[in-house]
Amino acid sequence: MNAAVPLQSIVELLSALVRTPSRASEDDLAPVAAVIEAWFGARGLPFHRLQGEQGQALGLYAEVRGQRPGPWIVLDATLDTAGFGDPARWTHAPTSAAQVDGWLHGRGSADSKGGVALFAHLLQERAARGAAAMSGRLGVLFDLDEHSGGFGGARAFFGRPLAAEPPPRPDVVVIGYPGDDAIVTGGRGFLRARLHLAGVAAHSGAAETRGVNAIERALALGGALAALPLPGPDAELGLPPQLTLTGIDGGGPAFSEVPDHCELRLDVRLTSAFDDGAARRALAAAVQAHDAQWPQAAPTRIEWIAGWPPYRVPDGHPMVQALRAAGADEHGTPLPTRVVGPSNIGNYLASLQVPALCGYGLHGEGIHASDERVALASIAPVYRIYRGALQRLLAG
């Protein structure tokens, strides 16, 4: 299929989305949802609103179906964004959608309103070709609750049935996170914990009864955990596990009290070789060894906060192969694949046994920082690669 890329229309939709502020937990998200709903409505594309238990907007889903059986592919992108930070640090206003020197500026331009604009046009193009020219199903899922960490749109779609159908389980989900240099096929998982360390209260000025300082205990345990030996990169992900102390909270406003409680917060990045169970055992053993050195105080309580498992979609998966082949058509060589360190919605989908590619999209800069922008020159090549991959998998 050698049709022209609808570049002007993509940029117009992207600009309208960027001009509509949709910061997670800050802005009313109904206006940005209205922008994409109006775009679908003007083109006669039906869509399904995804709502929470209180009726709040969480996202939307639209789909086209072919006449013959085939794979079910869902393209996913987020409509909500990170915050602006200090607007004075932006060269162009966060909602300007200013086009300067080949870049379109504004919060969400790269992450991931560019993906929304791209995927909406790919769906429209498939719909225009008609059901007879297609096998399988193509859907787009636009989440309004991703940057909050809640993934409310995805949870509303995958966790609850649409109409009388069972919970949806597509053959693959492709997430339009920015980055056009590789197909991201997996990510490390994570486990989090709060460690509640006890002390023995006393007056800080006492000469003899010194108590047990919970903050000192926490600092010692934090050092032991930071030095904990972890496995190296595993064969499946190619990345090592990682443990990070992300917070400490103890003591009170008075200078004269030896604190009897302190909390450590931990983030552990998981791999196939160092999974949830291995991480829990390692942390529990370290805490037990630490407690043995402080018999005067109560044992440390571990509050586990469940996370998501690590995952990787094999390079032989049909969607990976189709994107790599379409990349070769565009660039002369197949697109590479890689695994990323941060967790993402792909981990959640992996827990549902839904394969997810957690990144291939437009070239962007300044993501979650000031001066976020997307390279306009990356739109057409990325669009053609997606078009080529979908054609390989959904051709009638």
Domain residue ranges of the chain, discontinuous segments joined by +? 7-187+310-394, 190-308
The Cα 95–Cα 118 span in angstroms is 19
pLDDT band with cut points at 50, 70 and 90 for residue 54: confident
pLDDT in tens, 246-295: 999 999 888 999 999 999 999 999 999 999 999 999 999 999 999 999 99
Tokens at 194, concatenated = 């709060």
Q: Tell me the CATH number of domain 190-308, given options 3.30.70.360, 1.20.120.330, 3.30.70.20, 3.20.20.10.
A: 3.30.70.360
| Residue 360 reports pLDDT greater than 60 | yes
Lowest pLDDT segment from 245-249, 275-279, 363-367, 392-396? 392-396
Burial of 396 (0-12, 13-18, 19+ CB in 10 A): middle
Q: Which residues contact 186 (CB under 8 A, 6 or more apart)?
A: 237, 310, 311, 312, 313, 339, 340, 346, 358
**Same fold for the domain at 7-187+310-394 and the one at 190-308?**
no
pLDDT band with cut points at 50, 70 and 90 for residue 162: low
CA atoms within 13 A of residue 103's CA, in its CB half-sphere? 17
Beta strands 373-375; 364-365: pairing state: antiparallel
Angle made by CA atoms 162, 165, 170, in degrees to the nearest 5:
80
CATH code given to domain 7-187+310-394 = 3.40.630.10
Q: b/e string for 182-191 if b means 16 or more Cβ within 10 A?
A: ebbbbbbbbb
| Residue 234 reports pLDDT greater than 80 | yes
SS3 label, residue 240: coil
Helix axes 379-394, 7-18, angle to 10 degrees: 110
pLDDT for res 160:
65
Give strand pairing partners of 195: 264, 302
SS3 label, residue 75: strand
pLDDT more than 90, % of the chain: 84
Place of tokens 């331009």: 109
Q: How far apart are the first and last CA of the chain?
A: 13
215 phi/psi in degrees, rounded to 5: -70, -40
pLDDT for res 163:
54
Taking all residues of the chain, what is their mean pLDDT, rounded to a whole number?
94
Q: Which residues contact 377 (CB under 8 A, 6 or more apart)?
A: 102, 363
The Cα 189–Cα 286 span in angstroms is 21
Tokens at 316, concatenated = 């032989």
pLDDT band with cut points at 50, 70 and 90 for residue 165: low
pLDDT band with cut points at 50, 70 and 90 for residue 3: confident
